[in-house]
Amino acid sequence: MDSSASSADAGRPVAARDRDGEGRARNARPRDGLGRPLPYGAQGVERQPEGVVRTPERTVAEAQELLDAGKPFHAHEVFEDAWKSGPQEERTLWRGLAQIAVGLTHSARGNLTGGVRLLRRGAGAVDEWAAASGRRRPHGMDLAGIAGWARELAAEVEADGRTVDAGARAPRLRGRTP
Protein backbone atom coordinates (compact mmCIF):
# COMPACT_ATOMS: atom_id res chain seq x y z
CA MET A 1 0.00 0.00 0.00
CA ASP A 2 1.15 3.55 -0.74
CA SER A 3 2.62 5.01 2.43
CA SER A 4 0.75 8.28 1.84
CA ALA A 5 -2.66 6.58 1.94
CA SER A 6 -4.31 6.19 5.33
CA SER A 7 -5.79 2.91 6.50
CA ALA A 8 -9.24 4.58 6.28
CA ASP A 9 -8.70 4.88 2.52
CA ALA A 10 -7.86 1.20 2.08
CA GLY A 11 -10.24 -0.52 -0.29
CA ARG A 12 -11.83 2.74 -1.47
CA PRO A 13 -11.78 3.15 -5.25
CA VAL A 14 -9.60 5.96 -6.54
CA ALA A 15 -11.55 8.38 -8.74
CA ALA A 16 -10.02 8.86 -12.15
CA ARG A 17 -9.65 12.45 -13.27
CA ASP A 18 -11.69 13.50 -16.26
CA ARG A 19 -9.47 14.19 -19.27
CA ASP A 20 -10.08 15.86 -22.61
CA GLY A 21 -8.84 14.55 -25.96
CA GLU A 22 -5.36 15.97 -25.35
CA GLY A 23 -5.11 14.48 -21.85
CA ARG A 24 -5.70 17.77 -19.97
CA ALA A 25 -7.69 17.49 -16.76
CA ARG A 26 -11.33 18.52 -17.26
CA ASN A 27 -14.25 18.16 -14.91
CA ALA A 28 -16.98 16.29 -16.79
CA ARG A 29 -19.56 16.60 -14.02
CA PRO A 30 -22.83 18.05 -15.23
CA ARG A 31 -23.57 21.62 -14.17
CA ASP A 32 -26.70 23.64 -13.57
CA GLY A 33 -27.55 26.90 -15.31
CA LEU A 34 -25.40 28.87 -12.85
CA GLY A 35 -22.39 26.60 -13.40
CA ARG A 36 -22.66 24.71 -10.10
CA PRO A 37 -21.50 21.11 -10.33
CA LEU A 38 -24.19 18.45 -10.05
CA PRO A 39 -23.69 14.79 -9.12
CA TYR A 40 -22.41 12.52 -11.89
CA GLY A 41 -25.36 11.13 -13.80
CA ALA A 42 -27.62 14.10 -13.02
CA GLN A 43 -29.26 16.03 -15.84
CA GLY A 44 -27.39 19.31 -16.29
CA VAL A 45 -27.37 22.02 -18.90
CA GLU A 46 -25.19 21.76 -21.96
CA ARG A 47 -21.76 23.18 -21.29
CA GLN A 48 -20.10 25.78 -23.44
CA PRO A 49 -17.22 24.34 -25.41
CA GLU A 50 -13.91 25.91 -24.42
CA GLY A 51 -11.47 27.61 -26.75
CA VAL A 52 -13.95 28.51 -29.47
CA VAL A 53 -12.86 31.36 -31.72
CA ARG A 54 -15.87 33.51 -32.62
CA THR A 55 -16.27 36.82 -34.34
CA PRO A 56 -16.94 39.64 -31.87
CA GLU A 57 -20.49 39.90 -33.19
CA ARG A 58 -21.09 36.17 -32.59
CA THR A 59 -19.52 36.45 -29.13
CA VAL A 60 -21.92 39.23 -28.17
CA ALA A 61 -24.94 37.40 -29.63
CA GLU A 62 -24.15 34.07 -27.91
CA ALA A 63 -23.37 35.75 -24.60
CA GLN A 64 -26.64 37.71 -24.75
CA GLU A 65 -28.62 34.51 -25.43
CA LEU A 66 -27.01 32.84 -22.43
CA LEU A 67 -27.53 35.87 -20.18
CA ASP A 68 -31.19 36.07 -21.20
CA ALA A 69 -31.58 32.35 -20.41
CA GLY A 70 -30.28 32.92 -16.86
CA LYS A 71 -26.90 31.32 -17.61
CA PRO A 72 -24.33 34.02 -16.81
CA PHE A 73 -21.68 31.42 -15.90
CA HIS A 74 -21.89 30.05 -19.43
CA ALA A 75 -21.87 33.58 -20.90
CA HIS A 76 -18.65 34.24 -18.98
CA GLU A 77 -17.08 31.27 -20.79
CA VAL A 78 -18.01 32.82 -24.15
CA PHE A 79 -16.45 36.14 -23.08
CA GLU A 80 -13.40 34.28 -21.79
CA ASP A 81 -12.88 32.69 -25.21
CA ALA A 82 -12.92 36.18 -26.78
CA TRP A 83 -10.53 37.45 -24.12
CA LYS A 84 -8.07 34.64 -24.76
CA SER A 85 -8.35 34.41 -28.57
CA GLY A 86 -9.14 37.97 -29.57
CA PRO A 87 -6.82 40.83 -30.40
CA GLN A 88 -4.52 41.94 -27.60
CA GLU A 89 -5.99 45.46 -27.67
CA GLU A 90 -9.47 44.09 -26.76
CA ARG A 91 -8.49 41.76 -23.93
CA THR A 92 -9.37 44.22 -21.15
CA LEU A 93 -12.83 44.67 -22.68
CA TRP A 94 -13.62 40.94 -22.88
CA ARG A 95 -12.09 40.25 -19.47
CA GLY A 96 -14.25 42.99 -17.95
CA LEU A 97 -17.38 41.53 -19.56
CA ALA A 98 -16.43 38.07 -18.27
CA GLN A 99 -16.01 39.52 -14.77
CA ILE A 100 -19.45 41.13 -14.98
CA ALA A 101 -20.99 37.80 -16.02
CA VAL A 102 -19.27 36.04 -13.11
CA GLY A 103 -20.41 38.81 -10.77
CA LEU A 104 -23.99 38.15 -11.86
CA THR A 105 -23.38 34.42 -11.37
CA HIS A 106 -22.16 34.91 -7.81
CA SER A 107 -25.01 37.30 -7.04
CA ALA A 108 -27.49 34.65 -8.20
CA ARG A 109 -25.72 31.80 -6.35
CA GLY A 110 -25.67 33.66 -3.02
CA ASN A 111 -22.00 34.69 -2.88
CA LEU A 112 -23.03 38.31 -2.54
CA THR A 113 -19.64 39.70 -1.49
CA GLY A 114 -17.92 38.05 -4.46
CA GLY A 115 -20.73 39.13 -6.77
CA VAL A 116 -20.49 42.78 -5.75
CA ARG A 117 -16.71 42.75 -6.04
CA LEU A 118 -16.71 41.22 -9.53
CA LEU A 119 -19.53 43.41 -10.84
CA ARG A 120 -17.57 46.50 -9.80
CA ARG A 121 -14.24 45.16 -11.05
CA GLY A 122 -15.78 44.27 -14.42
CA ALA A 123 -17.47 47.67 -14.72
CA GLY A 124 -14.12 49.34 -14.01
CA ALA A 125 -12.36 47.25 -16.67
CA VAL A 126 -15.05 48.04 -19.26
CA ASP A 127 -14.83 51.77 -18.45
CA GLU A 128 -11.02 51.64 -18.51
CA TRP A 129 -11.03 49.98 -21.94
CA ALA A 130 -13.58 52.45 -23.32
CA ALA A 131 -11.54 55.42 -22.07
CA ALA A 132 -8.24 54.05 -23.40
CA SER A 133 -9.65 53.05 -26.79
CA GLY A 134 -11.95 56.04 -27.25
CA ARG A 135 -14.71 53.60 -28.22
CA ARG A 136 -18.05 53.56 -26.43
CA ARG A 137 -19.99 51.16 -28.70
CA PRO A 138 -17.56 48.49 -29.94
CA HIS A 139 -19.28 45.65 -31.76
CA GLY A 140 -22.58 47.44 -31.11
CA MET A 141 -22.28 47.15 -27.33
CA ASP A 142 -23.35 49.99 -25.03
CA LEU A 143 -20.35 50.02 -22.70
CA ALA A 144 -21.56 52.94 -20.57
CA GLY A 145 -24.92 51.20 -20.13
CA ILE A 146 -23.30 47.86 -19.24
CA ALA A 147 -20.91 49.40 -16.70
CA GLY A 148 -23.72 51.48 -15.17
CA TRP A 149 -25.95 48.39 -14.95
CA ALA A 150 -23.19 46.42 -13.21
CA ARG A 151 -22.57 49.18 -10.65
CA GLU A 152 -26.32 49.57 -9.98
CA LEU A 153 -26.74 45.84 -9.47
CA ALA A 154 -23.70 45.74 -7.18
CA ALA A 155 -25.16 48.55 -5.05
CA GLU A 156 -28.55 46.83 -4.93
CA VAL A 157 -27.11 43.44 -3.93
CA GLU A 158 -24.92 45.08 -1.32
CA ALA A 159 -27.83 47.05 0.16
CA ASP A 160 -30.48 44.31 0.01
CA GLY A 161 -28.32 41.33 0.90
CA ARG A 162 -30.44 39.06 -1.31
CA THR A 163 -29.68 36.86 -4.30
CA VAL A 164 -30.91 37.94 -7.72
CA ASP A 165 -32.67 36.09 -10.53
CA ALA A 166 -29.93 35.97 -13.17
CA GLY A 167 -32.30 35.73 -16.14
CA ALA A 168 -34.57 38.52 -14.95
CA ARG A 169 -31.57 40.77 -14.23
CA ALA A 170 -29.57 40.07 -17.40
CA PRO A 171 -27.91 43.13 -18.91
CA ARG A 172 -28.65 44.23 -22.46
CA LEU A 173 -25.28 44.25 -24.18
CA ARG A 174 -26.41 46.19 -27.24
CA GLY A 175 -29.12 48.37 -25.85
CA ARG A 176 -31.05 49.63 -22.92
CA THR A 177 -30.36 47.54 -19.81
CA PRO A 178 -33.32 46.93 -17.45
Residue ranges of domains in the chain: 16-47, 56-160
Q: pLDDT band at 28, cuts 50/70/90?
A: confident
Bridge partners of 45, per DSSP, are 31
Region 68-96: mean pLDDT is: 96
Alpha helices (runs of H) in the chain, residue ranges in sequence order: 56-68, 72-85, 91-109, 112-133, 143-160
Q: Report the predicted TM-score, pTM, of the whole model to 2 decimal places.
A: 0.81
Q: Model confidence over 131-155: pLDDT tens digits?
A: 999 998 999 999 999 999 999 999 9
Collect all residues with Cβ–Cβ distance below 8 Å to 21 and sequence separation of at least 6: none
- CATH code for residues 56-160: 1.10.3450.10
119-135 average pLDDT score:
96
Instruction: Look at residue 115 in the predicted model and tell me its pLDDT.
Output: 98
